[in-house]
Structure 1
Amino acid sequence: MSEPKSYIQVLSPELLGRVFDAYAHKPDEEKHLIGLETTLFSSCESGFYANPVILSHVSKNWRNISLDRPTLWSTMIMVRPIASHIPKVENWLERSKTAPLTLQIMQTIPDDDTPIEPLREERTAVNTILEMLLKHIERWEAITFFLCIGFLPAFAEFPQGKLDQLKSATLNLATWSTHPQVVDRVFRAIHAAPELEFVSWCASFFQTGLPDHVPWQQLKRIELDVNDISEEPSSVGYVLDILSKCPQLTSAKFILGFCKTTTPKALNTPLNLPNLRSLALDEASSPNIAYVLQNLTLPSLHTLNLSLFSDEERSSANLFKAVGSLVGRSKSTLKYLGLDIDDEQLLKLLPFAKDVEVLRVGGAKTKKFTSLLTRNANNKISLEVLPKLEYLHLTYAQDAMRPHRISASTAALNRMVVFRTSQPPATPGLKKLKFISVGTAASSFQTAHITLILGTYSHLNLKSVRFEGN
């Protein structure tokens, strides 16, 4: 009598192929590689390791399925490429057949102490890899190239009119200042891509400013650090100038850390962007954030992220009024709110966030903050603060520029969570807290205080309690 087969053995090739795709392209948090400390060749973005070759070594059936699934091999993530990556690129290009390619190359960012010889070897390897990839340029769909060790000859005669499938492009060619014509030629080809939706120039045009051939009219997503496009501080009005050129935008992020302190005159009529769902203003001063928000109408706004530059830059401008007027004027329903602002502004703003379901809070989390979020069945006003909140993330990291501290006591945090998970029967429409996370995936934090909190949540009806970090 034969043994019964396991569920995985009876899956159809198509379903098993989808499982393979999930493994190859979905981040595995336990294998997260932070930074550029090591070399990496992966099929998974965001610094996570995955390799479909592993699947092909399990059994003959799995090998046949994996080799016959081009999408498994069409994403190549290379961090600090080395010579051994070259045959892998050749192999994966062959196995990906005609599938659109997602490509990422992250070179070493050298400093004064970086040894010269490894840089030379890496530069040679990257140049060879780029030569191979250029032979399949018509298949490029998304590219992220941080080419930080100077000019690479492979791009000297960058092909024009070949990027028919390109939708997303991020390039950092800041160290190529000795070859401005090549930089311009590369971006001319990218900007001419008919399907292009997103482009990030990083600091490629730091000395000259963005070129006039940027296809603003067709872009749906932009991400721009204003310090990367000019040696002199830019006016915050530049943000509105850019937005006014992009009628199809659905997502925009601006890093405004070095904008001029003086704000220009407000627009006569707020700029209306009907499709913009996500807006982030990062490392900005309070007046600059308020200026941008006061000059926009965003009827589709779903996600708003605001981050002040540092404690020293946090003025008393009425951010809560700017946010309130934006939401009211736009008649939008704000569901996701990320705030790294001073405590005073935070406490004023939260009572107006009636529809927010996801809240991420940086900066200081004080007893006042936890008291504001603590519900009281006998206090109607407390029930009106974030009534629909389901997911709360508290950033916690020791950062000199952005202190993300939790100064509220363990007892105050516990009380807030307990009361957020207890829904009074007489209050219809009030949602319970389902998810809470503390920390940041990019920074380590002191665990002693957080561990005390973790132990007290075991009796609550939370779907998830996650504590991130190292």
Structure 2
Amino acid sequence: MSIQGSLPWIYTPKNKHGAFHLYWNTFLSYATNTLKANQSKLQIILNETHHIIQWILWKHHFSPIDTSNALEWLTIPAYCVIPQTDFINRLPNELLTKIFSHVLHSDSSSPKDRFCRQIMRRISSGSSPTTPIVLTHVCQFWRDTVHNTPTLWSTIKVVCPVMTDVEYVSFLLDMTGDCPLTLELEQYMTPDPASLHIAQLFVSKASRWKNVTFTLFGYVQEAFSSMRPGDVGALESYRVRVHSWDMNRLETFFQVLHSSPVLHTVDWGKSLDASMPEDVSWSRLVEITLHLMDLSQSTMSTLSKCESLKTLRMRRIRRSYEPVSSPVIFSHLTRLICDRPDNFEIIFNAFTLPMLSELEITDRKALTLGDAKALTDFIDRSGCDVTTFSIDGRSLELFPQLREHLTKVITLNILSNITSANDFRRLMKEPGEIDVLPSLRNLILHNCYLEDGTLADVIWSRRKELLSVQVCMEAEKAPRDCLTLGWLEQDGTLVSIHEPVASHSTFYFLANNKIRGSDMVPMVYFPDADELW
């Protein structure tokens, strides 16, 4: 078809030379109207052209990443995150290694881990079920990234090893390059030549120790005999349980640990016969755990040297024949954990903590009225605002007496079995009545054995304030509670339901069924693991 035939109205008849004259104004008006009529189709063409140009110039690697909900994702354990879109291979190596580090080294523990330890691997990267080896099996790109990033291999946890594990641990140490190490070795059998060899491997890297956790019998003490003060210059924290060691070697070993100029966290269990060591730079410590010690004036005098102390854990603390004469002020301590002391009154009367924000008191039985009075006097004297409060379920009956001192509590953690519906209903928010926890936003319940519907009534009364609810219960026996929790989750509350936790300390292994000859290791019940170490 000719131009004249298709657009006859914008051309004039032929002139004497046989040519057509074009009226440009008419043509432009027609073109504009055509573009407007086909604007959506043209936009699609432009978008596709843009994508093609991006692909040609290799610009899609630098597309912006949506980080609007990054903080929310950081509150979720790494192993629970289910990717919605497979964009991870588009990330630069720096971001990819950050993600891998979070997956490998983040805390993946659940409420049951408070009393129950389930060991599924003899060698791991901590509480995460993922190991660097697993990541290398995904694809060549991941394999190259993991092999070229020593920090991803720097956490090595070994529990009850066998001789075939020695070579594997040696390989893992080689992969760490020169980066600081987080090491854990737990030995529960003796003699144990595998633990001895692995201890020797760990000692050979002592200059790179950053955080160490050891549970050791006397069989492996020879591996540490060559260590001298100054060998662990990068050590920042330790948790050590030793048993049946020669006294001289024991003292030398702790002198080595305490010689680190950057040490800030210590936990020697019962290794030092309930005595406070004299070779510690107390002024640098920010976290201390004490086991089965007498709360005496001399103990408090030593603790008073800890000018930077922020966390103090006290387990099975005993009343001393040398009582504390007056409360000691710790100006920077923000977290206090008291587990089964002779009584809580001796604890509360010994401290003044103006910056305290997190308080945990557990005794597996209800607080006495004397303990409650000492607690309120302690809070009044300190002038602190407790925002995280952990307590036994049996002590809920005392909440009316504690009400005026719990107004700032944001997170409530009930640690033991909850069996009394009347006591638990004290947490209900009812119109016209005083709210015992007006600031409550997060509720954590261990072993809720209440009649179905009791939990539902309490959390529904607080549905407008609660941000998160975590409960351990037998879900199949509580359909109404589960239904109410589901409604809260739909309204935006973070809800998690777990199986009931052990009522006593439990420690056991699971066999790997893929390994020929692998048998289930018998379950070992520890009535109190801390009493053993």
TM-score, normalised via structure 2 length: 0.71
Structure 2 residue corresponding to 1:174, chosen from 233, 243, 246: 243
- Greater Rg over alpha carbons, structure: 2
Is 1:469 paired with 2:531? no
CA distance in 1 between counterparts of 2:265 and 2:109 reads 26
| Aligned-partner residue type, residue 349 of structure 1 | L
8 Å Cα contact 1:239-1:292 kept in structure 2? no
CA distance in 2 between counterparts of 1:263 and 1:209 reads 15
CA distance in 1 between counterparts of 2:316 and 2:328 reads 19
Within a 5 Å distance, the mapping from 1:246-261 to structure 2 comes to: 246-256=306-316, 259-260=318-319
| Aligned-partner residue type, residue 259 of structure 2 | A
8 Å Cα contact 1:56-1:62 kept in structure 2? yes
Within a 5 Å distance, the mapping from 1:198-347 to structure 2 comes to: 198-206=265-273, 209-226=275-292, 234-235=294-295, 240-256=300-316, 259-260=318-319, 265=323, 267-268=325-326, 270-285=327-342, 288-308=343-363, 310=365, 315-319=368-372, 321-340=373-392, 342-347=395-400
Structure 2 residue corresponding to 1:349, chosen from 402, 413, 423: 402
| Aligned-partner residue type, residue 459 of structure 1 | W
The residue number in structure 1 matching 2:47 is none
- For residues 450 and 264 of structure 1, do their structure 2 counterparts lie closer, same or farther at Cα, with a shift above 3 Å needed? farther
The residue number in structure 2 matching 1:415 is 457
The residue number in structure 1 matching 2:263 is 196
- For residues 169 and 29 of structure 1, do their structure 2 counterparts lie closer, same or farther at Cα, with a shift above 3 Å needed? closer
| Aligned-partner residue type, residue 498 of structure 2 | E
Residue 350 of structure 1 deviates from its aligned partner by 4.0
| Aligned-partner residue type, residue 455 of structure 2 | L
Residue 465 of structure 1 deviates from its aligned partner by 2.1
- For residues 361 and 106 of structure 1, do their structure 2 counterparts lie closer, same or farther at Cα, with a shift above 3 Å needed? same
Is 1:148 paired with 2:245? no
- For residues 451 and 210 of structure 1, do their structure 2 counterparts lie closer, same or farther at Cα, with a shift above 3 Å needed? farther
| Aligned-partner residue type, residue 388 of structure 1 | S
**Of Structure 1 and Structure 2, which has the larger fraction of its residues in helix?**
2
CA distance in 2 between counterparts of 1:214 and 1:467 reads 43
The residue number in structure 2 matching 1:437 is 470
The residue number in structure 2 matching 1:16 is 96
Q: Which moved more, 1:332-341 or 1:95-104?
A: 332-341
Is 1:44 paired with 2:126? yes
8 Å Cα contact 2:456-2:480 kept in structure 1? no
Higher relative contact order structure (alpha carbons within 8 Å, sequence separation ≥ 6): 2
CA distance in 2 between counterparts of 1:87 and 1:450 reads 50
CA distance in 2 between counterparts of 1:449 and 1:369 reads 21
For residues 366-392 of structure 1, give each alpha carbon's deviation from its aligned partner in whole angstroms, at most 9, with x where no partner exists: 23333321112333x13xx21111111
| Aligned-partner residue type, residue 412 of structure 1 | T
The residue number in structure 2 matching 1:401 is none
| Aligned-partner residue type, residue 417 of structure 1 | I
8 Å Cα contact 2:276-2:299 kept in structure 1? no
Residue 264 of structure 1 deviates from its aligned partner by 5.9
Residue 348 of structure 1 deviates from its aligned partner by 2.3
1:454 is paired with a residue whose SS is helix
CA distance in 2 between counterparts of 1:318 and 1:131 reads 48
CA distance in 1 between counterparts of 2:252 and 2:371 reads 45
CA distance in 2 between counterparts of 1:165 and 1:81 reads 26
CA distance in 2 between counterparts of 1:392 and 1:163 reads 41
8 Å Cα contact 1:168-1:196 kept in structure 2? yes
1:152 is paired with a residue whose SS is helix
CA distance in 1 between counterparts of 2:350 and 2:271 reads 29
Residue 420 of structure 1 deviates from its aligned partner by 0.4
Q: Which moved more, 1:12-21 or 1:328-337?
A: 328-337
- For residues 36 and 126 of structure 1, do their structure 2 counterparts lie closer, same or farther at Cα, with a shift above 3 Å needed? farther
Which segments of 5 or more consecutive residues in structure 2 lack a partner in the other structure? 1-51, 62-85, 501-533
CA distance in 2 between counterparts of 1:40 and 1:87 reads 13
- For residues 342 and 82 of structure 1, do their structure 2 counterparts lie closer, same or farther at Cα, with a shift above 3 Å needed? same
- For residues 239 and 414 of structure 1, do their structure 2 counterparts lie closer, same or farther at Cα, with a shift above 3 Å needed? farther
- For residues 146 and 456 of structure 1, do their structure 2 counterparts lie closer, same or farther at Cα, with a shift above 3 Å needed? same
TM-score, normalised via structure 1 length: 0.80
| Aligned-partner residue type, residue 131 of structure 2 | N
| Aligned-partner residue type, residue 425 of structure 2 | S
8 Å Cα contact 2:333-2:356 kept in structure 1? yes
- CA RMSD in angstroms comes to 2.8
Q: How many residues align?
A: 413
